[in-house]
Structure formats: structure tokens, C-alpha cells
Amino acid sequence: MKRNWLATVAGLLFLVSAIPERAAAQVSYTITDLGTLGGDNSIPYWITNTGEVVGVSDTGQFDAFGNPVDHAFRWVGGPLQDLQTLGGNDSSANGANAEGQAVGIADVTGGSTSHAVLWQGGTMADLGALNGPSGFSFAQLVNGSRQVIGASTTADGTFRGFVWDRGVMTELGTLGGANSFALGINDRGQVVGISQVNDIVDPILGFPDFHGTLWDHGEMVNLTPGAGADAFNINNKSQVVGRLLIPDSIEGGVARAYVWQEGVLTDLGVPAGDDNSQANSINDNGQIVGAAGVGFIETYAPDRALLWQNGRLFDLNTLIPGDSGYHLIVAFDINARGQIVVCAVQLSTGNIHAAILTPQPSNVSGAPVAPRTEAAVPALSESAKRLLRFAMAKRNKH
């Protein structure tokens, strides 16, 4: 039976807390450009508590069809390290832990498929797939206990979230629908992600919607009953962040950032002038990072990186030097030190580079988040648009 989206979501949001006050943060940040692997663009997906960064970068090379070749990278304070592939063209590093392990996805020799991989001590391990060598899989994160999570195809062609632990890949279930994806894990072994609840096509999305999902040691919890949503990350206090689908008369459907804790879903709001926000990560101090933008939930391009801290919402562009030469469009992760990894647009080229924001003591005064203006959003190069589309599709999965 189809749901009445307006009534369902309105009922859900009636239960959440009020949108936090928006004002300037009490810290400012220095910005460090991490460069690329030889191409024009790079994107950082994760920063460990020790300050190591992983992500994906153009290499400056092209395949036989003229497509750019992208490789996973690791940054530990010098030039980006190329993590290579499983013999194919492309790879991406999606997460890492403080023990020096990184995980992601890499094309196999011949390019027939791609597999979840684990990089450790200079070697790369193929984690395989639930349905054998010909299957497709990716790894999203690895925790301090060296448990890896991600998703894989199965024998019937659907996707299932998985946990890989000590060489064994274990399939996670669904909330009743066909597909699930595991997207975040904490050091307690709690996993979050998305799962379909049925096979009914949602009229907004055009496919059966996913719900934010928690897998907690054998128990499955629907974090967003009655509304489509994604759950991207969970910290060690079991706080979950993601985005919620909201019906919209102009765009059809838009995203709204949320945080979930102990059964309470809190709407984190959206800056004036934007109609989408999403929360990508949360650290153990409760600091949340993400992005905002304009357009349909599945295709909008983010245009400013956000920080939620102490109940307030900040545009990170107001907290870096005004003459930095960069505009920050997405914040992907924040570590325990408060360091944030972002996509930074080079104003001189329109390319996007992986960058780290490092907090510095300051006396930044309070001012509301400014409304979005077209003039404040720089034009991206075509190569930057391509890699950003790839990054957002990989983050949002559907």
C-alpha cells in the first residue's frame, strides 16, 4: 500500500526536536590542500583520529575508451600515496582506522567487476564477494577492531550489507525489501546503513525507498519508520547521522540532515537559500559535518560544507581565511581532534582538491549563517563535476 508522504513525514517531524540555533562557531580553521595523484581533482572520504586521510584522485591517465583513471590514495603528511588496484583501472579508498588499515573498492584484472579491498602494510587483500569471484562488492569502513563493512551482490542479484571479520564475510539482512547496504560502523561493532522495507515503488524516487537501518549484534532497527532515509555514520556513543527524504513542491523531494540517538530523530535543518542538507559523519564529541545544496535529492550538487556543533549550524566557508583561494562544498568526515576533510574548490581553476581543516583557537564572533547566493558558488571544471558526481553517488548509493 502506498504511503501518503506528506502526512507520514509531517507526523515524523512532529516528533523531532526543533532546528538548532544557527550562529558562528567558536573556532576557526587552517586549510591544507592535499594535492592529487597527477590529475586535476581529488576527494577525501575519511580522516582517522591520527590524522591519516584516504580518498580518490584523478591520476592524469586515461583508459582505452578515453575515460579518466581514478585511484585510491592515502595521505600521511606528504605527497599522496597511490594505493593501486587489483589489476584493473580504478580504485577508491573509502575508510580507514588508526591501526593503518584502509578499505575501499578496486577493479579486478580485465575490468569485469570490482571487489572490496583491504590495504594493510603495503599489501592489498581482495575480500571477494558474497556470490563468488564474479560478484561485485565494495568496502565502506573499517573499525578499530578491524571489522570491515560494505555491500555485495548475492546469488539472486540483489545487494546485501556485510561485515567482514577475520577472513569471513557475513551477510546482513534487510528490513523486508530486496536490498541493503552497510555504510558505517563504530568500535562497538554497531553497523548502520540503509535497507529497503518492501518492493513498493516510491512515487518520488521511482524505486522502492530505503530506510536508515541499525544492525546491533543480531538485532535490526528501522531508524526512520514511515520515511525514506540514509544512515551514513555512527559514533561510539551510538549517535547516528544521515539524511531524510522530505517531499517538496518544487524539487519533488529533498534531503534533510538528521541525528538519531536512543530512538529520537532530530532534524538538523538547512541553511537559508538551500533546500537540501545531509549529515555525513559525527565524532564522539557530537560534532557533525556534511553539506547543503539545491535540487532533487538524488541529483543535487552540494555547494557549501557544513558543521553542526553545540546545537548550532555553521557554513565552514566563513571559518577559513577569506583569502584562502578555496570554496568548500562538502565535508565528508571529522575526527576526534576536530579535523575535517572537505572537497575544496580551487577558485583559480574550478577543480576540487582533498583538503584538511585543522581547528585553531580564535575569537570568532557570532553571526547567522548567510543565505545562499549564486555569486558565492564557484563554477566547477567539467572534470571536477565528473568526480563530484561519482563521489555523491558513492556516498548516497542510490
Average pLDDT, the chain: 90
The span from the CA of 352 to the CA of 86, in Å, is 26
Angstrom distance (rounded) from CA 174 to CA 181: 9
Which of 1-5, 32-36, 186-190 has the lowest average pLDDT?
1-5
Q: What is the pLDDT of residue 364?
A: 44
Mean pLDDT, rounded, for 253-280: 96
- What mean pLDDT is predicted for residues 64-69? 94
Q: Is the distance from CB of 235 to CB of 36 less than 8 angstroms? A: no
State the residue range of the domain holding 120.
5-396
pLDDT for 74 equals 98
pLDDT at residue 366, rounded to an integer: 45
pLDDT at 23 over 50: no
Query: Taking 60 as the threshold, does the pLDDT of residue 11 lie above it?
Result: no
Number of domains comprising the chain: 1
Q: What is the pLDDT of residues 218-241, one digit of tens each?
A: 999 999 998 999 999 999 999 999
Give the whole-number percent of the chain exceeding pLDDT 90.
82
pLDDT the model gives residue 395:
67
What pLDDT does residue 397 have?
63
For residue 384, report the phi and psi dihedrals to the nearest 5 degrees.
-70, -40
Write the pLDDT tens digit of every residue in 108-128. Answer: 999 999 999 999 999 999 999
pTM for the structure as a whole: 0.90
pLDDT at position 10 is: 38
* Separation in Å, CA 201 to CA 31, 206, 210: 44, 6, 11
Residue 165: which CATH number? 2.130.10.150
pLDDT in tens, 347-389: 999 999 999 999 987 644 445 567 666 656 788 989 888 888 8
- The DSSP code for 108 is E
Q: How would residue 95 be classed by pLDDT, with cut points 50, 70 and 90?
A: very high
User: What are the pLDDT digits (tens) for 298-314?
Assistant: 999 999 999 999 999 99
Q: How many other CB atoms are there within 10 angstroms of residue 300's CB atom? A: 20
Backbone angles phi, psi at 251, to 5 degrees: -90, -15
The number of residues in the chain equals 398
